[in-house]
Amino acid sequence: MTLEEVARVAGVSRATASRVVNGSPKVNPQARRGVERAIARLGYVPNRAARSLVTRRSDSIGVVIREPTARLFGDPYFPQLLSGISAALSPRGLQLILLMPRSREEDRRLEQYLTAGHIDGVLLASLHGNDPLPGRLDGDGIPVVVGGRPPEGVRVSFVDNDNYGGAVAAVSHLIASGRHTVATISGPLDMEAGVARLRGYREALRSAGRSLDPSLEAEGEFTQESGAQAMRALLQRHPELDAVFVASDLMAAGALQVLNAAERRVPDDVAIVGFDDSPIALMTVPPLSTVRQSIEEMGREMVRLLLESIDERDRAPRQVILVTELILRGSCGGGPMS
């Protein structure tokens, strides 16, 4: 089933048939109808490879997820992101190519693959530290959009949540509701999201006239186990604490377990606010107050920015910051207990 046959059936040239397929305006309506009918009758579908060969476009987008398994599986973050990306890609007929390198070796090959021209653009999520990948891809002229923030000094488009604002709102609420000793379990500090939420915590304390105490801060790595561990450390250092702002719901679930085991009642003895509003927030007892962000929307926005920078090659990088919202539930005494 080729264009040639469609053209023959419709009684036009291959060129005209091609124009109809590609929606070119300069086709006589009658010819157009003939071709459309032929396409429908024959069930013609263009050959992507042949098209790519001449257009030099693959019509596919690479989505790179390079995260250790622990986080990948515990956290609904990645399915949500993929869902948003897929929803934005599929109506445009773009393929989502999923890349999950899981070793140094695969990471090396990944970069070669991405720069080899097999894809039209790259979506990068969940970067750590000073990852050189976004900068290198950008240097090679590959359109890139980062979910979260690109490393310092790398000027590529990105979509981020208002991590800072969300943290400020959460901690301000804890203070306003009368808590005296507000601790925090931060995300990994080699990730922008981790750093920004910690900054928000500090800012809220500062602007409430509270003094900062580094021993009230413990670092986690966005896994449930690391949240539990951080909570144990905090309890030991500050048995008197009566509130914790935890930088992810998954870590908050871990912290909750530890508080339970230590026979601290939540929210009576200790109030907790998480971050993400992931489904996990509803699985805990009591349900978690949390900062809502829409990861699916983040995925959709990433696609939008990427398509823009594919279409208009050397436009300046854009950035989109998505709002976050404080959701009150039982874990901080402000909402329903189940």
Partner DNA sequence: CTGAAAGCGCTTACAG
* Interface contacts to a copy of itself, rule CB under 8 A: 45, 47-53, 58, 60, 63, 69-70, 72-74, 76, 78-80, 82-83, 86-87, 90, 95-102, 106, 109, 112, 116-118, 224-225, 253-254, 257, 260-261, 278-280, 282-283, 285, 338
> What is the C-alpha separation between 317 and 323, in angstroms, rounded?
20
Q: Which does 60 bind (CB under 5 to 8 A by kind): DNA, a copy of itself, none?
A: a copy of itself
Q: Give the three-state DSSP class for 167.
A: helix
Q: Which does 96 bind (CB under 5 to 8 A by kind): a copy of itself, DNA, none?
A: a copy of itself
Torsion of CA 22, 23, 29, 35, to 10 degrees: 30
Amino acid in position 170: A
Site string for DNA, 6-45 (x = CB under 7 A): ------xxxxx-xx-xx--xxxx-xx------------x-
> What is the C-alpha separation between 136 and 62, in angstroms, rounded?
15
Smallest distance from a copy of itself to CB 178, Å: 27
Torsion of CA 257, 263, 269, 274, to 10 degrees: 0
Smallest distance from DNA to CB 54, Å: 4
Site string for DNA, 43-72 (x = CB under 7 A): -x-xx--xx-xxx-----------------
User: Closer to a copy of itself at the Cβ: 83 or 319?
Assistant: 83
Smallest distance from a copy of itself to CB 71, Å: 10
User: Closer to a copy of itself at the Cβ: 147 or 150?
Assistant: 147
Of residues 293 through 332, those in contact with DNA by CB under 7 A are none
Smallest distance from a copy of itself to CB 113, Å: 8
Q: Taking contact as CB under 7 A, which single stretch among the options 2-10, 168-176, 237-245, 329-337 is the one that binds DNA?
A: 2-10
Query: What are the backbone angles phi and psi of residue 194, rounded to the nearest 5°?
Result: -65, -50
Helices (H) and strands (E) in the chain, counts: 13, 12
Smallest distance from a copy of itself to CB 97, Å: 5
Q: Which does 58 bind (CB under 5 to 8 A by kind): DNA, a copy of itself, none?
A: a copy of itself
Beta carbons of 250 and 227 less than 8 angstroms apart = yes
> What is the C-alpha separation between 20 and 335, in angstroms, rounded?
58
Q: Which does 18 bind (CB under 5 to 8 A by kind): DNA, a copy of itself, none?
A: DNA
Burial track 18-30 (b if 16+ CB lie within 10 A, e otherwise)? bbbbeeeeebeee
In three-state form (DSSP H/G/I as H, E/B as E, the rest C), the secondary structure along 28-92 is: CHHHHHHHHHHHHHHCCCCCHHHHHHHHCCCCEEEEEECCCHHHHHHCCHHHHHHHHHHHHHHHH
Q: Which does 211 bind (CB under 5 to 8 A by kind): DNA, a copy of itself, none?
A: none
Q: Which does 132 bind (CB under 5 to 8 A by kind): a copy of itself, DNA, none?
A: none
Q: Which does 323 bind (CB under 5 to 8 A by kind): a copy of itself, DNA, none?
A: none
Residues 6+ apart with CB under 8 A from 140: 115
> What is the C-alpha separation between 166 and 143, in angstroms, rounded?
30
Amino acid in position 118: H
Q: Of the candidates 324, 55, 285, 311, which has an alpha carbon nearest to the alpha carbon of residue 165?
A: 324
> What is the C-alpha separation between 146 and 206, in angstroms, rounded?
31
User: Closer to a copy of itself at the Cβ: 58 or 324?
Assistant: 58
User: Closer to a copy of itself at the Cβ: 203 or 296?
Assistant: 296
Binding site for DNA (CB under 7 A): 2-4, 12-16, 18-19, 21-22, 25-28, 30-31, 44, 46-47, 50-51, 53-55
